[in-house]
Chains A and B, each alone.
Chain A
Amino acid sequence: MFGISSIYILDQKGRVLISRQYRNELPANIHETFNKKLLEFDEYTQKPVMIDKDGYTYIFIRHNNLIFMTVCSQNANCLMIFSFLFRLVQVLQEYFVNVEEESIRDNFVVVYELLDEMLDNGYPQTTEFKILKEFIKTESFQLKDKKQPEQTNFNVVALVSNKISWRREGIKYKKNEVFLDVIEKLNILIGQQGNVIKSEIIGQVQVKCMLSGMPELKLGLNDKAFFEAQGRQAKSRAVEFDDIKFHQCVRLSKFENERVIQFIPPDGDFELISYRLDIRVKPLFSVDVLIERKSTTKIEFLVKAKSNFKPKSTANNVEIFVPVPDDAEQPQFRTAHGSVNYMPEKEAMCWSIKQFGGQRDFMMNAVFHLPTIVSPNRDKFQKMPINITFEIPYFTVSGFQVRYLKIQDKSGYNALPWVRYITQNGEYQIRMN
C-alpha cells in the first residue's frame, strides 16, 4: 500500500508550475531527472511509467501543453495513481474549463488548495468536483463573514465523510426534472471487403438532475439479464450488456443480486452508467474508394459512401476522411452532395455532408496532382484507414431503451424524467488498401 511521493504539474519545457512533496527522501530537483529521462525516448518508445537508476518511478500523463507527473519511491498502486491523475485533470477542467499552462499559472493558489484536499500524504481523498466546489472557490472566501458561509462549511464537512457523500441535504428546485442522455459511440473496424473485423458499442447515460430533497430513483432498462433474473421472457429488443459500470451512488450489491438500478443521485450533471456491448454491428456507413493513377503525376479517387441504417433516421454532420498521398497537391473535387476539403496536415481529404439520410448513397470524385519527385512515403496513405465522424439523433445502435425512471421523495413531489438518445462515431475506421 504505497502512494505518491510527490506530484508535479510541469509545462511543455518541463518547468515546474505546481509541486507538492510528500516524502522527505526525494531529491528536490527530481523533476529535472524526469525531464532528462523523457528525452531518452522519442514519441514512439516512451511509456507512461518510467524508472530511473535510483529506483524512482515516474508516472505521468499529458494534457494539452501540460505534464501531470508523480514520483513514487515504492511499489505503488500504479493504476490508482493514473486514475487519480485523470481525475485531477477532470476536476481542474470543471474549475478552469481549459486546463493549460496559462490557467494553471493564473490559478495556482486554487490548484494548491485543491491538491491539498484531494491528496493527503500522497493518498487520494476527496476528488468529487461537486463536493470540492462547495468549499474551494475561485473567488476569495472569507471566514470572518459568519452569516452564510459558516453554515455551508458545516455542510461541506458533513459531505466529505458522509455516508451519502455525493449529495447534500436541503436542495430545492421549483420544477423537479431529470434529463437522461443516452449516448452511444460505435467503435468499428471494417476490412477492405466491407467485413467487420471488430465492433463494440460504448454507451453512457448522462444525467442532469434537478430534483429537490433526497429522492430515491429507480431506473428500468431493457436489460436482458434483468428480465432473466425476473424469470420473464426477454423481449426481442432486450440488450445484453457485456460490462456495465455505475456512478458510486448506485447500490452495487442491489444490482449484483437483483439487477435493479437504484440510487440517490448527486445534484446536477453526472455520468450514471457506462456500458459496453461486444456485438457484431452492421456498419452504419460503408465507403468504397476506387483509386486510379492516370499517369505518374495524377491520381484520381472515386469515393462512394453508403448509409445502411433505416430511412427514417438521419445522420448529421457526417465527415469522411479519406487518406491521400502525403505529397498530393492541386486538388479538384466534384460532388453533388456536401463539400470536400483537402487537409494536407492530416494527409487526407475531408468530405462533409450536413445531413445523410438512411439507405442513401453518395458519390464524390477527387483528382490530385502528384509532383515528379516522389515522396518516400507516398504509398503510406494506402495503409491508413478511412475515418468517419457522425451523429445520429433519436437512435441507439444497440437498441438500448430506458423503460422507466421512478422518482420517490419523502415530500412526494411529482417529477418529470426526460430521455434523449443519440449515436455517435467512436473510432469508426475502414481499412483502405
Chain B
Amino acid sequence: MSRPSASTSSSSRSSRSRYGKEVKELQDALNQNKIESKRDAIRKIIDAMTRGKDVSMLFPDVAKNMETSNLELKKLVYLYIINYAKIMPDLAVMAVNSFRKDARDKTNPFLRALAIRTMGCIRVKLITEYLLDPLKESIKDEDSYVRKTAAICISKLYDVSPELIEEQGLLKLLENLLNDGNAMVVANAVCALLIVQESKGTTMLQLNPYTIQKILTAMNECNEWGVIYCLDALAMYIPEDGKEAEAILERVSPRLNHNNPGVVLSACKIMMKFLDYLQNPETIRQNALKMTAPLISLLSLGKEPEIQYVALKNINLIIQKRPIIIEKDIKVFFCNFNDPIYIKLQKLEVLSKLANNDNIQQILHELKEYTQEVDVEFVRKSVRTIGRCAIKLEKAAEKCVTALWECLKTKVNYVVMESIIVIRDIFRKYPRKYEMILKDLCENLKSIEDPEAKASMIWIIGEYVDTIENADSLLGNFSENFKDEPANVQHQILVAVMKLFLQRPNDGKELIHNLLKTATIECENPDLRDRAYIYWRMLSTDPELAKKIVFTERPTISDSSYTIENELLDKLIENIGNLSSVYTKKPESFVKKLRDVLNSKIADKIDDVYDQDQLMEGRPEDYSDQQGGSSNINENNYETSSQIQSQIQQSQVQQVTQKIDLLDLDENQPQQQQSQQQQQQQQLPTQQIQQPNQFQNIKIPFAEVLNSNTPGSQAQIQGLQIEAAFQKYGDKIVLDLKFTNKTQDKTFSAFGIKFNKNPFKLQPDAIEIQCQPVFPGSTQIAQSSINTNGPALEEPPQMPYKIQVALKTNLDVFYIFIPMSLSVLFSNTASITQQKFIELSQAQNMARKQEVLQIQIDPLKMKEKLERNYFFLIGVRKDERGVELLSYAATLVNGMPLLVNVIHTPTAINLQLQVPHPTLMPLLYQAIGFILTLN
C-alpha cells in the first residue's frame, strides 16, 4: 500500500523539479541579450499561461524586457503583464515607467497607442494615477489612431478608479472628443461615454440636436462597428417631434443596406422606436416597409444559423408591434430540411403569428409536411402550431381540424398524442362543432402514454359522453388503473365519470360509486379527495344543481396567451439585437448586476446609493406625460374584504396548480436552527417594540386579510379572521396581527408565519408568533418583527403592493396577502445630501411624474408629518411669487433613493415624484397619502 503512494510523491517531486528546471531555463533565456532567445522564452511562458499554468514567479524577469524596442517582444511582455498585474500589483508598478515612456514616443503613433491600450487593461488602482498624464496627452494626440484608443482607455480606467477619472476632468475631455474631426474617434468616444454612463448611472452622453448631428455625421464615415455604436446611442434619443424623428430616420435608413447584420438590426431598433413619433400614416408605412427586405435577408439560406436565430427572435417582436412589416413574405419562414432545430422551432413561432385567413391554406400545407418529419420535438410543435392557428382564426378552424384529423390517422404515436392535446383546446374554443372526429379520436386510446394527452382525451370523452356511445366502457377502462395514474389524469377521470353519471345515470351509476369510494378512501392527494367529497355531497343533496355546476359555462380560450403585453414589448423593441430580445425578458430580470442592485442589502446602502443607481438602464424614462391611472389614494386604499378574499382564492388555486412550496415550516432543518437563533436575538427587540414607543410614525390601519368564511389551504377549518398591517416602530418594521376566532368549538394556537419571496426581501425574524391561544369568540393581538434579509423576488413591486404570507396554525395553514405601504420601508437615516439630490434629480434614469394630492392640511403639519416619517428636507426654494417648493428625499431600506418636490396650496398638495423605477411611482404616491392623512 505504501509503495504506490511513495512512487506518486516521488514522481510529483520529480515533475516539480523538472518544472523548477524549466523555470530556471526560461529565466536564463530572458536574461540573455539575444532578442530571439528572449522572444522564444516569452512565447513559451505565454503558452504555459494560456494553458493555465502558473508562471507568475517570472514576473520580474519578464517585466525587465518591457523597454525593448522590438515590437513583437514588447507586445508579448504586455500580454503577460496584463494577465498578472492584478495578482501582483506591487510589481505592476514596475511597468509604469515603460508605459509612460512609450505613450510619449515621438516617432511612432502605433507604439503610443499600444501603450495607452495596454495600460488601460492593467486594472490596478495603485498605478492609475501615474497613467493619467500620458492619457491626457494622448487625447490630444495628433494621430487619430491614438485618440480613438485613448477614448476607450478612459472607459477602462473609469472602471478601476472612477473618482480619480472624474476629479481629473477626463470625462470632460472624453466628451470633447465628440467634436473630433475623425469619425472613428467620435464613434469610440460615443462608445466610451455609454460605457461610463452605464457604470456611473447618470447621463454622460448628452443627446441633443447638436450631438445627434455629430453622431449622424460620424456614422457616415466610420467603420461598421463604429456605425453600431452610433446607432445604439441614437436609439436612446427621444426626438422632439415627428419632424425630427423623420429627419433622423432618413439618415438611418440607408444603414439597412449594410452588410453587417449587427448594423441592420441596430438600425431597425431606431426605426421601430422612432416610428412611434411619426404622425402621417403613409410616412409610417413607407418607413416600416423599408425594413422588410433587410430583415428577410437575415434569414436567407446562406446566412449562419446563429444570425438567423437572433433575427427570428427579433422579427417575432417586430411583427407583434407592426405586423405590416412582414405580411406577405411568409415563405422565408418555411423550414428547410437542414435548419437546426432551434431555427425550425422559432420559424414555427413566427408562422403562427403571421397566419391569417388569406395565407392559412399555404401555411397549413407546410405544417402538414412538417408533421411527417423525423424530429419528434419539431413534429410536436408543428401539430401545436396547427392548433394555435385553429384557435386564432375561427374561419380557418375547420381546415385546421381537418389537418389534425389527418394527423390522427397517421397513427404515429407522438403525432397522435400531441394532436389530442391540441384538439382538446379546439373543443374548448369551439364546443360541439367538430364532433365528426370523435370516432377517430376514440380509436387511438391504446397508444396514449403521455399523461397530458391522456388527461386531454379523458376530458374530451367526459365532454361528449352523450355522443360517444361507449363512453361508459371507455371510462371504465381508464378507471381500472385509476390508482396508478398521475394526479392530472386522476382528476380528469373523476370529472369525466361525474359527467357520465349526470348525463347517463344508468350507465354511470356503478362507475361513479366505485370511483368516489376509491378517491375518498384510498387517495392520498387532498385535492382529488376533496373534489370527490364535494361531488359526493352534491350528488346526495341536489343532483340537478350538481349538473348545473359541473356543466357550467367555461371561459373561452384565445391565442392571446402567446403574445407579449405591450409594456414589455416596447421595452424589448428598445432592445432589438440585444440579449434582452433573445431572452424575451427585460434586462433587469437576467442581468446579474442589475438584479443584485435591485436586491441590494441595507448594510451597504448608505455609502453606495449612487453606485446602485445603475439599477436602471441609462435611458431617459419620462413618465410626466402619462396622465391619470395609478392615482388611487382617494379611492379605497384597501380592498374590500371580498376583493381580498377573491385574491386569496386565486392564490390558493395557484398553490394547488403550481405547488409553490411556501410552507416548509417544519421540515426544514437549517431553517429551524436559524429560527431558534433568531428567536434568541428577537427577545430584546420584541420587548422594546411592545413598550409603548414614542410613536413617531403613522399607524397603518388594520386590513382584513382573511375572512372567517375562508377555509385554510387544506380545507380543514374555517372561522379564523385575520387582520393585519405592516407598521414601522422606530427603526424596526413590525407586522401587527389580529386574530379573531369565529368558530364555536375550535381553538387556534401555535401560530407560525412565513413570507413568500418579495422585492424588498422582507421576512419575519422568527417563524413562531408569540401569541396566546385564541379561544372561540375571542380576539388576540400579536406581533412579528420583520427583517430584510430574506430571499428576494426579482420583480419590482406592483401596485397594490402586497406580501404573500403563509400563516400556520395548529389546525390549518392559511395563505393571505397583506398590504404593504412604502412608508414602512423608509430608512431612518438621512443619506442624501443636497448635492446628491441635485445630481439625482438630473439623472436621466429616474422616472418622473407630477401628482396632485387633494387634501387640505396645514403646511407646518404637513412638514412635520413628512419629516417624522423619514422624508428628509433637502432644500426650500421660493419663486418670485413666494410659492415655496420643498425638496424632500427618502431612502428605501434597500438603498433606492426617492425624491419628492412639494408645493403646498390651501386646497391640495402638488407633488413632483422621482423614483428609480416606474413601478415605485404609485406606491410612493400612496405612501405620501398615508403619511399625510393617517395619524
Known: A51-B583, A76-B578, A244-B257. A141 touches B184 (CB 8 A): no
Interface flags, B668-690, vs A, CB<8A=1, else 0? 00000000000000000000000
Alpha-carbon distance A252/B336, docked complex (angstroms): 33
Instruction: Give A85-136 interface residues, CB cut-off 8 Å to B.
Output: 86, 108-109, 112-113, 116, 120-121, 123-128, 135
Contacts of A185 in B (CB 8 A): 302
- Surface stretch bound by B, among A195-203, A209-217, A328-336: A195-203
Residue B16 interfacial (CB < 8 Å): no
Residue B283 interfacial (CB < 8 Å): no
B194 pairs with A72, CB closer than 8 A = no
A-B pairs with lowest CB-CB distance, top 9: A55-B592, A1-B194, A80-B262, A243-B293, A161-B144, A75-B587, A124-B225, A252-B254, A198-B331
A80 pairs with B577, CB closer than 8 A = yes
Kindly identify which residue among B155, B156, B194, B329 contacts A278, using a CB–CB cutoff of 8 Å. B329
A247 pairs with B259, CB closer than 8 A = yes
B296 pairs with A44, CB closer than 8 A = no
B257 pairs with A1, CB closer than 8 A = no
Alpha-carbon distance A127/B225, docked complex (angstroms): 9
Kindly identify which residue among B159, B221, B254, B262 contacts A83, using a CB–CB cutoff of 8 Å. B262
Alpha-carbon distance A242/B107, docked complex (angstroms): 50
- CB-CB nearest in chain A for B43: A109
Residue B653 interfacial (CB < 8 Å): no
Residue A349 interfacial (CB < 8 Å): no
Contacts of A49 in B (CB 8 A): 309-310, 579, 582
Residue A144 interfacial (CB < 8 Å): yes
B221 pairs with A163, CB closer than 8 A = yes
Residue B305 interfacial (CB < 8 Å): yes
CB distance from B391 to the nearest CB of A (A): 26
Residue A2 interfacial (CB < 8 Å): yes
B583 pairs with A255, CB closer than 8 A = no
Residue B258 interfacial (CB < 8 Å): yes
Alpha-carbon distance A429/B155, docked complex (angstroms): 51
Extra pairs beyond A108-B47, A128-B223, A429-B336 (11, CB < 8 Å): A22-B121, A82-B304, A83-B262, A109-B46, A127-B224, A141-B72, A143-B70, A247-B259, A255-B257, A276-B296, A278-B296
Residue A153 interfacial (CB < 8 Å): yes
Alpha-carbon distance A22/B266, docked complex (angstroms): 23
A154 pairs with B109, CB closer than 8 A = yes
Alpha-carbon distance A255/B224, docked complex (angstroms): 17
CB distance from B252 to the nearest CB of A (A): 11
Alpha-carbon distance A142/B71, docked complex (angstroms): 6
Among A56, A109, A165, A429, find the residue whose CB has the most chain B CB atoms closer than 10 A.
A109
B593 pairs with A74, CB closer than 8 A = yes
Kindly identify which residue among A82, A125, A142, A163 contacts B306, using a CB–CB cutoff of 8 Å. A82
Contacts of A295 in B (CB 8 A): none
Residue B260 interfacial (CB < 8 Å): yes
Alpha-carbon distance A89/B123, docked complex (angstroms): 29
- CB-CB nearest in chain B for A242: B293
Instruction: Give B240-275 interface residues, CB cut-off 8 Å to A.
Output: 253-255, 257-262, 265-266
B71 pairs with A141, CB closer than 8 A = yes
Alpha-carbon distance A47/B377, docked complex (angstroms): 14
> Can you give 9 A-B contacts (C-beta < 8 A)?
A24-B123, A121-B120, A127-B224, A153-B110, A154-B109, A161-B145, A256-B257, A276-B300, A433-B372
CB distance from B798 to the nearest CB of A (A): 22
CB distance from A299 to the nearest CB of B (A): 19
CB distance from B162 to the nearest CB of A (A): 13
A109 pairs with B194, CB closer than 8 A = no
Alpha-carbon distance A75/B590, docked complex (angstroms): 8
B307 pairs with A24, CB closer than 8 A = no
Alpha-carbon distance A56/B184, docked complex (angstroms): 30
Contacts of B582 in A (CB 8 A): 49, 78
Kindly identify which residue among A79, A156, A200 contacts B261, using a CB–CB cutoff of 8 Å. A79
The tally of residues in A whose CB lies under 8 Å from a CB in B reads: 98
- CB-CB nearest in chain A for B182: A161
Residue A233 interfacial (CB < 8 Å): no
B108 pairs with A143, CB closer than 8 A = yes
- Surface stretch bound by B, among A306-314, A359-367, A378-386: A378-386
Contacts of A148 in B (CB 8 A): none
CB distance from A8 to the nearest CB of B (A): 10
- CB-CB nearest in chain A for B75: A113
B185 pairs with A161, CB closer than 8 A = yes
Instruction: Give A41-63 interface residues, CB cut-off 8 Å to B.
Output: 44-49, 51, 54-57, 61
Contacts of B39 in A (CB 8 A): 140
Alpha-carbon distance A153/B523, docked complex (angstroms): 83
Kindly identify which residue among A44, A48, A144 contacts B375, using a CB–CB cutoff of 8 Å. A44
Alpha-carbon distance A216/B233, docked complex (angstroms): 32
B255 pairs with A252, CB closer than 8 A = yes
Interface flags, A331-362, vs B, CB<8A=1, else 0? 00000000000000000000000000000000
Kindly identify which residue among B46, B156, B301, B591 contacts A75, using a CB–CB cutoff of 8 Å. B591
- Surface stretch bound by A, among B167-175, B337-345, B813-821: B337-345
Known: A48-B305, A61-B304. A16 touches B224 (CB 8 A): no
B257 pairs with A202, CB closer than 8 A = no
- CB-CB nearest in chain B for A60: B306
CB distance from B682 to the nearest CB of A (A): 33
Kindly identify which residue among B224, B261, B334 contacts A189, using a CB–CB cutoff of 8 Å. B334
- CB-CB nearest in chain B for A154: B109
CB distance from B928 to the nearest CB of A (A): 33
A121 pairs with B304, CB closer than 8 A = no
Residue A37 interfacial (CB < 8 Å): no
CB distance from A234 to the nearest CB of B (A): 19
Contacts of A247 in B (CB 8 A): 259
CB distance from A424 to the nearest CB of B (A): 11
B309 pairs with A47, CB closer than 8 A = yes
Contacts of A154 in B (CB 8 A): 109
Alpha-carbon distance A242/B595, docked complex (angstroms): 43
Alpha-carbon distance A296/B341, docked complex (angstroms): 33
Alpha-carbon distance A61/B309, docked complex (angstroms): 12
Instruction: Give A376-396 interface residues, CB cut-off 8 Å to B.
Output: 377, 380, 383-385
A78 pairs with B579, CB closer than 8 A = yes
Residue A157 interfacial (CB < 8 Å): yes
B377 pairs with A426, CB closer than 8 A = no
A16 pairs with B223, CB closer than 8 A = no
Residue A415 interfacial (CB < 8 Å): no
Contacts of A2 in B (CB 8 A): 195, 198, 578
Alpha-carbon distance A431/B373, docked complex (angstroms): 12
- CB-CB nearest in chain B for A23: B159
B254 pairs with A256, CB closer than 8 A = yes
CB distance from A265 to the nearest CB of B (A): 15
Contacts of B223 in A (CB 8 A): 126-128, 165, 248
- CB-CB nearest in chain B for A44: B341
A157 pairs with B110, CB closer than 8 A = yes
B261 pairs with A83, CB closer than 8 A = yes
CB distance from B618 to the nearest CB of A (A): 9
Residue B406 interfacial (CB < 8 Å): no
Residue A427 interfacial (CB < 8 Å): yes
Residue A316 interfacial (CB < 8 Å): no
Interface flags, B793-818, vs A, CB<8A=1, else 0? 00000000000000000000000000
A77 pairs with B262, CB closer than 8 A = yes
Contacts of A83 in B (CB 8 A): 260-262, 307
- CB-CB nearest in chain B for A382: B372
B254 pairs with A120, CB closer than 8 A = no
Kindly identify which residue among B108, B117, B152, B221 contacts A150, using a CB–CB cutoff of 8 Å. B108
Contacts of B593 in A (CB 8 A): 55, 73-74
Residue B76 interfacial (CB < 8 Å): yes
Residue B7 interfacial (CB < 8 Å): no
CB distance from B16 to the nearest CB of A (A): 23
Residue B872 interfacial (CB < 8 Å): no
Instruction: Give A144-165 interface residues, CB cut-off 8 Å to B.
Output: 144, 150, 153-154, 156-158, 160-161, 163, 165
Contacts of B198 in A (CB 8 A): 1-2, 74
- CB-CB nearest in chain A for B596: A55
Contacts of B191 in A (CB 8 A): 1, 123
Contacts of B692 in A (CB 8 A): none
